[in-house]
Amino acid sequence: MNDTNVQSTVLERLTDEWEALTPEAQKAARYVLENPQDVGISSVREIAVAAKVKPNTFVRMARQVGFEGYDDFREPFREAIRRGTVSFPDRARWLQEISKSGDLGGLYADLLGAAIRNIEDTFAGISANQLKSAAEAVWNSRYVYTLGVGVNNSNASNFTYLASTGMTQFHAIPRPGSTATDDLAWADKRDVLIAMTCSPFRTEVIEAVRIAREQGVTVVSISDSPASPIILQAHHGFVVAADTPQFFPSSVATIALLETLLSFVIAVASDEIVERVATFHKRRHQLGIYQEEPE
């Protein structure tokens, strides 16, 4: 059962036990039913003020519906925030609440756990054959356009930068002063588009993928849902886990996937790629870009 369903079960329990609750407990329960997003981000004192009852009323309400206390009752709502099933502002407020409570050690553990879990969950759903197929499409293409906006802009740019150490056909879009759709104007069946966006999905990325498909471009999509518009339109679709206590989707699994995809591209490439990489880095040493170790 996922965390959203667990939260829903708690709300259902409140309605099932409604008649058994005291009038004051019903006031508390009514507030929870009408404002479930507040439960995970507010202290018991804050939520009691909002519901116009005493803090102990929430404790008694929680016990009346089968929980050991209010913290036990609130946990499914907090977990929903960790899993990213509430709005960005609510998740930001929850982070502030953690800071005020002094429980940053718990936040640290939650962030670390989410990062590890995201990588495990992502690669558990992806096979080596899927990556190999996408890598071959990338290597055999004329041009590769990597598209990411917002939080994914740096991910796309970093992938392009790393690829450029051995290959010349990679281009990060949108270019400064341009739009992704304009940058794809002359793309065709010889080319590949690597597009990425997580919920809430960016419309310009969805539109670029649609246009690329119309032009015959091979689409490699990275998103956080199998129902994502860009996954549904992809020739090679990869679903990443992006759950996090943070207020924006985590990029940890996306970066790990991109690094792995690039490794597969190198692996399926012709032998000349090794010489290209060596030449690139030799040139950097010659230009003094790297700090040389003293002899």
Report, as an integer, the average pLDDT of 76-92: 60
Give the per-residue pLDDT at 55.
87
Do both 210 and 78 map to the same domain?
no
What pLDDT does 246 receive? 67
User: Is there a domain that residue 184 lies in?
Assistant: yes
Dump pLDDT digits (tens) for 244-267: 766 577 899 999 999 999 999 988
What mean pLDDT comes out for the span 24-35? 84
Residue 108: inside a domain: no
DSSP helix, strand, coil percent of the chain (3-state; round to 5): 60, 10, 30
Count of other CB atoms within 10 angstroms of residue 140? 12
Q: Is the peptide bond before 226 cis (omega within 30 degrees of 0)?
A: no
Answer yes or no: do 127 and 268 share one domain: yes
Judgement on whether residues 122 and 82 belong to the same structural domain of the protein: no
Q: Domain containing 281: what range?
A: 118-286
The answer to whether residue 245 sits within a structural domain is yes
Q: Quick one: 140 and 274 in the same domain?
A: yes
The reply to whether 92 falls in a domain is no
SS3 (DSSP) at 166: coil
Mark which of 66, 87, 108 sits at the end of a domain: 87
Same domain, yes or no, for 82 and 156? no
Core vs surface per residue 145-174: b (16+ CB within 10 A) or e? bbbbbebbbebbebbbebbeebbeebbbbb
Name the band, by pLDDT with cuts 50, 70 and 90, for residue 3. very low
The overall longest dimension of the chain from CA atoms, in Å, is 82
Report if residue 254 sits inside a domain. yes
**Which residues make beta-bridge pairs with 196?**
148, 222
Residue 233 has pLDDT above 60, yes or no: yes
Token look-up 């939650």 returns: 110
pLDDT band at 4; cut points 50, 70, 90 = very low
CATH of residue 151: 3.40.50.10490
255 within domain boundaries = yes
Please give the residue that has the higher pLDDT: either 229 or 84: 229
Identity of the residue numbered 113:
G
Whether residues 187 and 234 share a domain: the answer is: yes
Residues 58 and 124 in one domain: no
Q: Is the pLDDT of residue 157 over 60?
A: yes
For residue 137, being part of any structural domain is answered with: yes
Q: Are residues 73 and 129 in the same domain?
A: no
With 0.75 as the threshold, say if the pTM is over it: no
Note whether 52 and 159 are same-domain residues: no
- The pLDDT of 137-145, averaged and rounded, is 96
Do 160 and 64 belong to one domain? no
Is pLDDT above 90 for 38? no
Mean pLDDT of the chain: 83
Determine the average pLDDT of the residues in 24-45: 80
Identify the top-confidence range among 107-111, 148-152, 274-278.
Answer: 148-152
Q: Which two tokens stand for residue 180?
A: 């992704």
Q: Which of 87, 108, 126 is the last residue of a domain?
A: 87
More confident residue, 164 or 223: 223
What pLDDT score does 34 carry?
A: 78
| Rounded CA separation 231/235 (Å) | 8
User: The domain spanning residue 54 has which CATH number?
Assistant: 1.10.10.10
pLDDT over 50 at 198, yes or no: yes
Q: Are residues 137 and 261 in the same domain?
A: yes
Last residue of one domain, picked from the residues 36, 68, 87: 87
Domain annotation covers residue 291: no
At 114, the pLDDT band (50, 70, 90 cuts) reads: confident
Report the domain count for the chain.
Answer: 2
Are residues 180 and 51 part of one domain?
no
Residue 170 dihedral angles phi and psi, to the nearest 5°: -95, 135
pLDDT score for 78: 74
